A and B are shown apart, each in its own frame.
Chain A
Amino acid sequence: MVADQTILFATGTALLFLGIAAIAISRNLVKTMMAFQVAVFGANLSLFSSGLSLQLECSTSGLCIGDTFVVLSILVGAAVEAVGLAIVVLVYRHYGTLDPSKVRRLKR
């Protein structure tokens, strides 16, 4: 029987790769931000299930090192999301489109 931590880890990995694939093929910058959020969800779940299955060191109140990584990942993901969304709004204001292939400033 497969352990529940393994199921959660597989789900987290699947979400992570799903998000990365959607970032790569997305034609809408808002959808790209959503795909990034899905990838962050997958990374958080993978970190959490790894901490569960590896039985990492815990403090007296039950907070483990794996949880600290998840908190770091959540907050850094939220910060990156804020900056990305600001860039999306600016790109739309400047170019009038959300299609990344039409934003040609960085292309040759």
Chain B
Amino acid sequence: MADEITALLLSAALIATALTALLAKKVSTSLIALFYTSIVLGIAFTVYGDALIGLLTMVTFAGAVSVLLLAVILITGESKLDIGAKWLALGLAALTTVVGVASFSDLFTGGSTSSVSDLSLNVLSFTWQSRPWDLLILVVVFSGAMVGVVHLLGAEQ
């Protein structure tokens, strides 16, 4: 029963933040809601036993949202972040904090989530347990993407 309530809470938070990100009029409000979406998604992965995937999600999409924010500031010339409705930002922050504290409490109190403790002991071994072809594909995709970005941005100049 508790698992279903947790899943429902996380789903409600995900849908609410994603809808805010898609429907907000101001781009900066959308970006902040998108950041909350990535945090809630990382919390969901962590709650269901994959701390590594959760942290990877948070770190990767925090970087993506930061770059998007820089691009928006460069394009629109917004000098300060106007988050729009304060109550909405406060509500989202409170919801994320409550769910985050509840989900990460096991990490600090040494809880019984066995997969989390196993992964934290063997973080470096993750590289060797992924299939080598996956890593090669990732390197090729990332190299291609970075070369494409450099070429696109350099061609204009």
Which A residues touch B103, using CB under 8 A? none
Q: For chain B residues 1-25, which have a beta carbon within 8 Å of chain A?
A: 1, 3-4, 6-8, 10-11, 14-15, 18-19, 21-22
Q: What residues of chain B lie closer than 8 Å to A86, measured between beta carbons?
A: 148-149, 152-153
Q: Mark B97-139, 1 if CB is under 8 A from A, else 0.
A: 0000000000000000011001100100110011100100110
- B118, A4: Cβ atoms under 8 Å? no
Offer 23 A-B interface pairs, CB within 8 angstroms, sorted by A. Answer: A7-B7, A8-B10, A11-B10, A14-B15, A30-B68, A34-B31, A38-B22, A38-B34, A38-B37, A45-B14, A45-B44, A63-B119, A63-B130, A67-B53, A68-B131, A71-B134, A72-B134, A78-B64, A81-B64, A85-B71, A89-B75, A89-B153, A93-B156
Could you tell me if A83 and B145 are in contact, using CB atoms closer than 8 angstroms?
Answer: yes
* CB-nearest residue of chain A to B21: A34
B146 at the interface (CB under 8 A from A): yes
| Partner-B contacts on A (CB < 8 A) | 1-5, 7-8, 10-11, 14-15, 18-19, 22, 28, 30-31, 33-35, 37-38, 41, 44-45, 48, 52, 59, 61-63, 67-68, 70-72, 74-76, 78-83, 85-90, 92-94, 98
Q: Are A4 and B22 within 8 A (Cβ)?
A: no
A48 in contact with B125 given A61-B119, A82-B146 (CB within 8 Å): no
The verdict on B30 contacting chain A, using a C-beta distance below 8 Å, is: yes
B residues contacting A by CB (< 8 A) are 1, 3-4, 6-8, 10-11, 14-15, 18-19, 21-22, 27, 30-31, 34, 37-38, 41, 44-45, 48-50, 52-53, 56-57, 60-61, 63-64, 67-68, 71-72, 74-75, 114-115, 118-119, 122, 125-126, 129-131, 134, 137-138, 141-142, 144-146, 148-149, 152-153, 156
In the bound complex, residues from chain A placing their C-beta under 8 Å from that of B22 are 18-19, 22, 31, 34-35, 38
A4–B60 CB distance below 8 A: no
Residues of B close to A30: CB separation below 8 A: 27, 68, 71-72, 75
Asked if A62 and B115 sit within 8 Å, CB to CB, the answer is yes
* CB-defined contacts of B3 to chain A, threshold 8 Å: 4
